[in-house]
A and B are shown apart, each in its own frame.
Chain A
């Protein structure tokens, strides 16, 4: 079984700031981390490999320094990695991102399963997984909390919902996105980490994926970020504190007196 895991490098949310002048993300001095949800995607793949054998390839589209993120996951025992990096990829929206990823999956054939995180903590759209499935013309399931191979050709997914879980079974090859209920990512291993340090990671650009400039990056995107801004601070706010009962009572009285901000 060959599993491809898509990971994204994101700014460490702990220190993200928006520049109040320009309303853009201040990236200087902000560490990049592997999108936290993607660790569960890696763990899900490794759990499947533990159980059924096979190979796990991790992949990211990003700037050259995203290679660091790939090496971090290799230290957990992922078999190989591919970096998709090209100036032309810059400014990609979810369509262009998932198209690029889909072409790379095709280049890695045979691939039985692609696993993505639930969503990226920066872009936050949760569209890339399903978009990837659409470009690959494959079935997909989101919010997987448990994955199981059935008859070697089907994937049974326990899919987390607000009220419990659904069991979905789909034919492979397929795409699945997973949630943290998959289980905590394992700790890195020393032997894996030493191997990760030395492993050659190929970098594929648009040409390697037979993608034309107008299909990738900003040019290949149907949407554009017009403006990023912090909502203006409001002074008419009150944070309720204390016991739940006290908070409920305070809220009740505020509502009763029509004093809730914005109402």
Chain B
């Protein structure tokens, strides 16, 4: 397919694909087995300037947008979404600063993120506040020129490895959803530490830990935007980051399809390659169709967001929802195409299937995406005065 990418976008693709094929694919099984954080690969991605593709040039980036970010994520995801998530989560931590940070914050924090010298992370979720982010209990109290943070964030991607964290905490409990604020916390801030590394079903090379705030003292200028905007910052961040989850899904689906077709052409049963059986062919055809539809959707959503459009919540949710549901189906069918071999850890598709599940959960479960899409539809059609009957 031809998506009319610019020369620079094609370069992003080429470089990310080269790294994915030569550096990630050969070690993905090993990383999955050892649950080792992929620092080597992060260093290569940094040297190749990929961490800056979506950041403005004045902060050391390459001046691209959501689409460039998605292209890099997709190519990496084709080899391993644990590695690609590690990359993408740094962007998730950077977006609140890019979208809402002060000029000083952008100048201080974005260049090391763009160069890949430092990883970033984003922390909202807590033990009792997942889908219902409004239920967070971590607090931030103003104390002169400082804020004092207390509480625990849970399941934060890149925790312990990143050096720059954007976290959301309650500054005024009486104000409900308007009482949360976003802050930048750095590794080494007093009273800031990490919980144990989680053991996961998939995405095992990605680090998932708690952020522990124990009278964590940070300068008041670490507040992002104004007090009370914490959830707006969160929602707007997800609006631009969710196509990236769609891109992870597209890469993963493509990676699973690649292996399935290659295998089906070689595996002989009943005297012929199994791709000759219509049942297998149709499974592959559906996988290819849904993967391509996902890709077209992600690129279209990313381009729309990059155009500067404001009404992006619905398309952003759609671009996360559909490709990730597809990735779950495609990877499940990839295991089916490979039969018993597919179920073996010697073959890459069982990992792909384990990995795929997370895509339907993080950055808002797919139920929550449907809620967003449904609510947006309700608003959208509420504004339309004409009838379609």
Question: Per a CB cutoff under 8 Å, which of A186, A187, A191, A197 touches B7?
Answer: A197
**A110 located at the interface, meaning its Cβ lies under 8 Å from any Cβ of chain B in the complex:** no
> Is B12 in contact with A190, judged by CB distance below 8 angstroms?
yes
- Please report which residues of chain B, range 1-36, place their CB below 8 angstroms from some CB of chain A when the two chains form the complex: 7-8, 11-12, 14-15, 18-19, 22-23
Q: Mark B15-59, 1 if CB is under 8 A from A, else 0.
A: 100110011000000000000000000001001111011000000
Question: Per a CB cutoff under 8 Å, which of B22, B23, B44, B50 touches A190?
Answer: B50
- Please report which residues of chain A, range 9-47, place their CB below 8 angstroms from some CB of chain B when the two chains form the complex: none
Size class of the contact patch on chain A:
10 to 19
Chain A residue numbers with a CB within 8 Å of B11 are: 190, 193-194, 197
Q: Mark A172-196, 1 if CB is under 8 A from B, else 0.
A: 0000000000000011111111100
Which secondary structure dominates where chain A touches chain B?
A: helix
**B62 located at the interface, meaning its Cβ lies under 8 Å from any Cβ of chain A in the complex:** yes
User: Considering the chains assembled together, what is the distance between the CA atoms of A192 and B48 in angstroms?
Assistant: 9
User: Considering the chains assembled together, what is the distance between the CA atoms of A186 and B22 in angstroms?
Assistant: 11
Question: Per a CB cutoff under 8 Å, which of B14, B18, B49 touches A191?
Answer: B49
CB distance from A135 to the nearest CB of B (A): 36
Q: Which residue on A lies nearest to B49, using beta carbons?
A: A190
> Is A187 in contact with B23, judged by CB distance below 8 angstroms?
yes
> Is A188 in contact with B7, judged by CB distance below 8 angstroms?
no
Q: Which residue on B lies nearest to A190, using beta carbons?
A: B49
Q: Which residue on A lies nearest to B23, using beta carbons?
A: A187
Q: Which residue on A lies nearest to B53, using beta carbons?
A: A190
Question: Per a CB cutoff under 8 Å, which of A186, A193, A194 touches B47?
Answer: A186
User: Considering the chains assembled together, what is the distance between the CA atoms of A188 and B10 in angstroms?
Assistant: 13
Q: Which residue on A lies nearest to B62, using beta carbons?
A: A190
Chain B residue numbers with a CB within 8 Å of A189 are: 15, 47-49
> Is A194 in contact with B8, judged by CB distance below 8 angstroms?
yes
Question: Per a CB cutoff under 8 Å, which of A188, A192, A194, A197 touches B18?
Answer: A188
> Is B19 in contact with A187, judged by CB distance below 8 angstroms?
yes
B-contacting residues of A (Cβ < 8 Å)?
A: 186-194, 197
A-contacting residues of B (Cβ < 8 Å)?
A: 7-8, 11-12, 14-15, 18-19, 22-23, 44, 47-50, 52-53, 62
Known: A186-B47, A189-B15, A193-B11. 8 other contacts (CB 8 A): A187-B15, A188-B18, A190-B11, A190-B15, A192-B49, A193-B15, A197-B7, A197-B11
6 nearest A-B residue pairs (beta carbon): A190-B49, A189-B48, A191-B49, A189-B49, A187-B48, A193-B11
